Structure 1
Amino acid sequence: MTDLPVLTSRLLDVAGVRHAFFTRQGGVSTGIYEGLNVGEGSRDAPEAVTENRRRAAAHLGGDLVTAFQVHSARAVVAEGPWPGATPEADAVVSATPGVICGALAADCAPILMIDPRARVVAAAHAGWQGALTGVAEAAIVQMETLGARRDRIVAAVGPCIGAMSYEVGLEYRQRFVEVDAAYGAFFSAGAAADKRQFDLPAFVLSRLEAAGVGACEALGRDTCAEPDLFFSNRRAFKMGEPDYGRLLSGIVLI
């Protein structure tokens, strides 16, 4: 195992499993991607991204498997590295030791999950679209096909954009309350009358709880507000930068 600066969850600290919410520290990328950028979809030097992914995989001790993320509610099962084209999905599930289920994010919420008894793990990428349409629930359903039970599943929401950094318009809130009026509780007053602050991690936790997981928590770190530790799409946009790095969250059975 190669040591890198990472964050972890007490809920996922169980025997036979390794997990990590990686920061941007410890990588070889430079410039606006400085550090551990693992985003193959970024415009970073491909050889730097490859080395960063290798370092992350070495830290966890397995083969890193990530999907082509499209802000969907689709989850796929991985038994090893993809034999062909990378599937379009936003959650990767596995019951195979050595397969690192990975999720990339740069403000969206990464979710890591495990059923310790069934030995099934998952990593999901939940932006507002995926969270609203059910990416966490889709991952849970795929975990159940491998023998997991949702009341045994524990989940952790990693670093993502916090409510104080996530200003949205009223039309954004409308999308949520059209699905369920109760979702309006995750929006607070903004700096202007036509703005609201959206609490993404709290919303993701609420969806996990409603899905019936045994326990869940959020790490409470704001990617937009901590530039030394995290990449952030919104921060990059505010600073006029042309692109941004991607963070990795991963979990593996050992």
Structure 2
Amino acid sequence: MSSGDHHASSSGGRVLAVGPLPPWLQAVVDKHDPLVLPGGAEREAFLAEHAASVHVAVTTSFTGVGSELMAALPNLRAVINFGTGCDSTDLAQAERRGIGVSNTPDVLTDCVADTAVALLLDALRGFAAADRYVRQGRWETEGPFRLTRKVGGTRVGILGLGRIGRAVAARLEPFGCRIAYHNRRRVADVGYPYYDSPVALAEAVDVLVVAVTGGPETARLVDRSVLTALGPDGYLVNVSRGSVIDEEALVELLATGGLAGAG
């Protein structure tokens, strides 16, 4: 595909490719004679010529269809989003205009949950840090690597008990971890203790696993108050968007001993 591939539109409207697409997805989109959104100075002229003909936009979670682009597409009917997260697309405008937005919510659930558990194990047991310690020759000059924390019996709080949060909990239970959670609403079919705020959950656990959706509603949900509630013996594991974490507070607390670790 290239931005020059602008053939005559069909009566059913055009497909617009927004941002880089995986090769296999690009091959599928190419079968529909797509328009390709250019960047930079070309975009304004391109939209002036083609915006009215676009009915479907195909994109990824990394690019999305933001508010300005969506507003420029008066006849847009659907956004096909490859990826789980939709926070790069203006969902509020899409809802107002009746534009359908699809994603691929279940494809990565197991892989993300596996990653969360791997990060938790590494944060508590220090595998990567121990590897660096030995490779740097510090074993010979500084002695054995520091003692690390046992995983079994660890109190793990899951912030966001959706598909991924549940999958994380299912993986951690066989380790003997004690699971608790906070969600926008209590989940009826689980027996884990529920806490009514992120701060309350953080105060009650040793490790906080963040598995919420991204977007404006969850921006800096894990703020300084939540991180402080975890305390100097607490660990943070984030498999959500970076925007969910107050990163300045996180870095400061890690540097000053206000948190034990993060992954």
Length-normalised TM-score, structure 1: 0.28
| TM-score normalised per structure 2 | 0.27
| Structure with more relative contact order (C-alpha pairs < 8 Å, separation 6 or more) | 1
Larger strand proportion, structure 1 or 2?
Answer: 1
Structure with more helix by fraction = 2
